[in-house]
Amino acid sequence: GAWFGEKYADNSKYLFEYVNKNHPEIRAIWITKNEETLSMLKNKNFECYKAYSFNSYIYSSRSMYRFVSVGSGDINFFIPPKFTINLWHGIPLKKIGFDDKITANYKSTFIKELLKSLFGFSKQAMRHSKILASSEVEATKLSSAFNKNMKDIIISGLPRNDVFLNAKRNKKENTFKVIYMPTHRNEGELNVSKLFVNDIEMINERLKLHNIELYIKLHFYHMNQMNIKNYSNIKAVHDKDIEQDIYSVVPDYDILITDYSSIFFDYILSDNPIIFAPFDYEKYITKDRELYYDYDEVTPGPKCKNWEEVLEWIVKFKENPNLFKEEREEVKNRFHKYQDGRNCERVFNEIVKL
């Protein structure tokens, strides 16, 4: 399962499909809380059951392995198989888990505190048998974040990143597409639309002038805030447009714009330009999340203070996508041990060794 049982996406999806395609001797089952996901997977002829249903509990109790991308809630909390493999959902730039001291101090209600004590990060981390990483650098951070020994971290690359090396681009002629993917704020409790909505008319006009399309995809935590109307050159990307999985289309975009989202570590495998928009950097690192690394050191692209600067760099990269290429290569090689499009295969082989 993935994303609290609400999405068919992320590393769980790509490993699930790899196993179904290449290892028919393995019975792979998807568990979901989402009716649309249930219907979609049945239409794809995959075995799928509703979380907390009779079948869900039966197969959870009988299975050897549970694969999640966030935590135990991706499937169910109550009947864990022998091994839980946390495929995780990105190379962390932001501090997570036991390393994250800011989120732990959020003001919470009694109910939230109770749920946290029963099913919170520390409880889930104890259940994780193995965790995936893409490099030694990332593995050391995950070891600290999950309070695990390094031997419990599998350095294999993330299954979803195979798309950057194996998928054929769905590139339409005479189109130049840019995607903006800001990370969440306060676990979804603050509205992120203010990061762009005040400038949206100006942004659209400038994009139209240069024949560039901008697509906005918000984090899972903020999907209910995606209520902007479509403009001629600005479009909102909803889960229903992409069958719940941004990685099915993200290689098709010519430029990525983000702030602190770890997706740039993945997108760097495409060799396409990245623009960084840390408009609220000081506030973010003091009120939301601390970072594992010096921001300027690991972000291979221009750092913009406002949308005027972002638009200038979009045009520059359209004219010359090789700007910052050496910097992107350096970061890519630092954070991706494997760049061969065989991460799913490696993960499978590592699990077989267990």
Q: What is the DSSP letter of 178?
A: E
Identify which of 235, 236, 282 has the alpha carbon closest to the alpha carbon of residue 259: 282
pLDDT tops 50 at residue 185:
yes
Q: Do residues 19 and 28 touch, judged by C-beta distance below 8 A? A: yes
Amino acid at 152: D
Angle at 267 between CA 276 and CA 340, to 5 degrees: 150
**SS3 of 277, please?**
coil
- Residue 73's CB: how many other CB atoms inside 10 A? 17
Q: What is the pLDDT of residue 14?
A: 96
**By the 8 A CB rule, do 139 and 153 touch?**
yes
Torsion of CA 67, 72, 78, 83, to 10 degrees: 40
Tell me the DSSP string of 210-262: TT-EEEE---GGGGGG--PPP-SSEEE--GGGTTT-GGGTGGG-SEEEESS-T
Instruction: Quickly state the pLDDT bin for 115 (edges 50, 70, 90).
Output: very low
Contacts of 319 (CB under 8 A, 6+ apart): none
166 compared with 302, residue with greater pLDDT: 302
Which pLDDT value is given to residue 77? Answer: 74
Which tops the pLDDT comparison, 300 or 129? 300
Pair 238, 222: CB distance under 8 Å: no
Q: Around 321, how many Cα atoms within 13 Å sit in the side-chain half-sphere?
A: 13
Phi-psi category of 88—alpha, beta or left, where left has phi over 0 and alpha has psi -120 to 50? Answer: left
And the tokens for 132?
Answer: 């995936």
Q: Phi/psi at 169 (nearest 5 deg)?
A: -65, 135
Per-residue pLDDT of 37-50, as tens digits, reads 999 999 999 999 99
Q: Is the pLDDT of residue 118 over 50?
A: no
